[in-house]
Structure 1
Amino acid sequence: MIRDIKNILFLDIETVGQTTDYQSLDERLKNQWARKASFLKKEEGITDEQLFLDRAGIYAEFGKVVVIGLGYFHAEGEEVQLRTKALSGDDEKELLLEFKQLLSKMAPDIRLCAHNGKEFDFPYLSRRMLINGIALPTALNLSGKKPWEVNHLDTMDMWKFGDWKNYTSLDLLAAIFGIESSKTDMDGSMVNTVYHEQKDLNKIAKYCLQDVVVTAKLYTKLQSIELPEIKVIET
Structure 2
Amino acid sequence: MTDFFSELSDILFLDIETASVESSFDALPERLQDEWIKKEKLINKSEEEYKAGSLFFEKAGIYAEFGKVICVGVGYFKFDKETKTLRFRTKSYAAESEYDSLLDFAELLQKKAWILCAHNGKEFDFPYLARRILINRIPLPEPLQMAGKKPWEIGHLDTLELWKFGDYKHYTRLELLAAVFDIPTSKEGIDGSQVNDAYYNQNDLQAIREYCLRDVLVTAQIYLAFQGLPPEIEFEIINLDLEQE
Give the TM-score normalised by the residue count of structure 1: 0.96
Matched, 1:173 2:177: yes
Deviations 1:2-40 (A, max 9, x none): 134120000000000010011111111011000000011
Match of 1:214 in 2: 218
Q: 2:36 aligns with which of 33, 36, 39?
A: 33
User: Counterpart amino acid of 1:32?
Assistant: E
Q: Which has the higher contact order (CA 8 A, sep 6+)?
A: 1
Q: Deviation at 1:164?
A: 0.6
Where structure 2 has 5 or more consecutive residues not aligned to the other structure, the ranges are 241-245
Q: Deviation at 1:167?
A: 1.1
Deviations 1:45-89 (A, max 9, x none): 343433111110000000000100000011232221111001102
For the residues of structure 1 that align with 2:131 and 2:54, how far apart are their CA atoms?
A: 24
Matched, 1:124 2:128: yes
Match of 1:78 in 2: 84
Match of 1:113 in 2: 117
Give the TM-score normalised by the residue count of structure 2: 0.92
Q: 1:186 aligns with which of 180, 186, 190?
A: 190
Q: Does structure 2 retain, via aligned residues, the 8 Å contact 1:15–1:67? A: yes
Aligned-residue CA RMSD (Å): 1.2
Percent sequence identity over matched residues? Answer: 49
Match of 1:233 in 2: 238
Q: Deviation at 1:224?
A: 1.6
Question: Bigger shift: 20-29 or 47-56?
Answer: 47-56
**Matched pairs, number:** 233
Q: Provide the secondary structure at the position in 1 that maps to 2:37.
A: helix
Match of 2:243 in 1: none
For the residues of structure 1 that align with 2:17 and 2:179, how far apart are their CA atoms?
A: 22
For the residues of structure 1 that align with 2:52 and 2:61, how far apart are their CA atoms?
A: 14
Where structure 1 has 5 or more consecutive residues not aligned to the other structure, the ranges are none
Matched, 1:22 2:28: no
Q: Provide the secondary structure at the position in 1 that maps to 2:146.
A: coil
Match of 2:64 in 1: 60
Q: 1:96 aligns with which of 75, 97, 102?
A: 102
Match of 1:223 in 2: 227
Deviations 1:92-142 (A, max 9, x none): 11111111111122x22x200000000000000000011111111100011
User: Counterpart amino acid of 2:93?
Assistant: L
For the residues of structure 2 that align with 1:176 and 1:82, how far apart are their CA atoms?
A: 22
Q: Does structure 1 retain, via aligned residues, the 8 Å contact 2:22–2:28? A: yes
